[in-house]
Amino acid sequence: MKRLLLIGAGHAHAQVLRDWLAAPVPGCEVIVVSPSALAPYSGMVPGWLAGHYRFDQICINFEALAAAAGAQLLTDELASLDPNRRRVSLRSGTALDYDLLSLNVGSTLTPPAPQPGMRVLSMRPLGELRMALEAVLSDPALSAGDQPLRVAAIGGGAAGVESLLATLTCFRSLQPGRTVQGRLISRGDSLLPDMAPGAARAIHAALTAAGVSVQLNTSCTDSAAAGCDLLLWATGAQAHAWQRDCGLALSERGFIRVDEHLRCVSHPHVYAVGDCAEWTTPLPKAGVFAVRMGPVLSHNLRAALQAGVPRAYSPQRRFLALLSTADGRAIASWGSWSAQGRWVWRWKDHIDRAFLQRFAVVTPTPLPAPTSLPLPGDTA
């Protein structure tokens, strides 16, 4: 009996399980390791932060998906990896041997220690964001009071912009009588540098409309972040700590180096996709790449188990970015083209719903209309 070990509940592994459900490989067991049975879809996280969706409504239910595919789900986390012995150790102390290993664990961030009276909310890893947000919302200093609530975000990319606009919307909805101030800090000289110029102009307009002050060419120092009550940390993706000593070939930034078949260049029985992997020419750390890698990964894992022919992954040169502005509108960017408006939000909402529906193996709870939506933690 061969063992396929899937570490991480990412978009690509959801595709592997979906394909396995339709056509399992004989003589092979599948084990999935994830800290949680519910895996948030990154594209809908800003909508959840803003209160547009409940948490369960933005998640792939890996417990149900794994069970339907005949796989075993372990709610645990990778602690260390020995690729030469083909063995992983989990946080619980469990050791697992494998024939084939696939890593789809995303990325992380290392925020600074908060100053006195300040809370820090890191946008990565996604699996820890729910509990972190609940802690923020339950903090009396943030959830009540007459003094202005000051929120600052670090990072001029999509994550920084979307998370700040969403968080401002959330707090203004929860505390309508309180002044909630926003500030965006970026060390770059422009926002959304990899997107269409029109998208950057639109995001500046959305930030202005939300009362956000923007500080460009500014490094995040204690003085730059001084005076804020909540600091949103949304800088560039970082590799997990265990990757430094995992024995696999790594890039200069600490991500796992993979070839055109998504195999680690030093250990071909190990596959890596999404943010934790580094392509020959580094790709943006965007969920769309993990989604596109999914079918190729699924095919190549099955080919490796059955002595088949692998398929090469070819990254797309351009990809569609849809950014929520948390006001019932969204911004689209593709190459040099951009658009904005309520119709873009409806388009984004439709795409996101359709993506999650692909992995629903039970009747899902219908999503509410995106114009009148519950706040985080609302059980209605």
170 domain-assigned: no
Would you call 112 exposed, middle or buried from its count of C-beta atoms within 10 A (0-12, 13-18, 19+)? middle
157 domain-assigned: no
Cβ 67 vs Cβ 73: under 8 Å: yes
Q: Quick one: pLDDT band at residue 355, thresholds 50, 70, 90?
A: very high
Average pLDDT, the chain: 90
Provide the CATH number for the domain around residue 20. 3.50.50.60
Q: Is the pLDDT of residue 222 over 80?
A: no
Domain limits at 298? 2-35+76-108+238-305
H or E segment to which residue 168 belongs: helix 158-174
Cβ 324 vs Cβ 334: under 8 Å: no
Question: Tens digit of pLDDT for each residue in 119-176?
Answer: 999 998 888 899 999 999 898 888 877 889 999 999 999 999 999 999 999 999 999 9
pLDDT of residue 239: 92
299 domain-assigned: yes
66 domain-assigned: no
Cβ 82 vs Cβ 98: under 8 Å: no
Q: Is the pLDDT of residue 366 over 60?
A: no
Q: Quick one: pLDDT band at residue 194, thresholds 50, 70, 90?
A: confident
For the chain, the domain total comes to: 1
Query: Which tops the pLDDT comparison, 367 or 252?
Result: 252
Q: What is the mean pLDDT of residues 299-306?
A: 96
252 domain-assigned: yes
87 domain-assigned: yes
Sequence-distant (6+) residues with CB within 8 A of 325 are 162, 165, 203, 206, 210, 331, 340
169 domain-assigned: no
Query: Which segment of 24-28, 142-146, 331-335 scores lowest on mean pLDDT?
Result: 142-146
Pairing of strands 119-122, 230-233: parallel
Cβ 315 vs Cβ 288: under 8 Å: no
188 domain-assigned: no
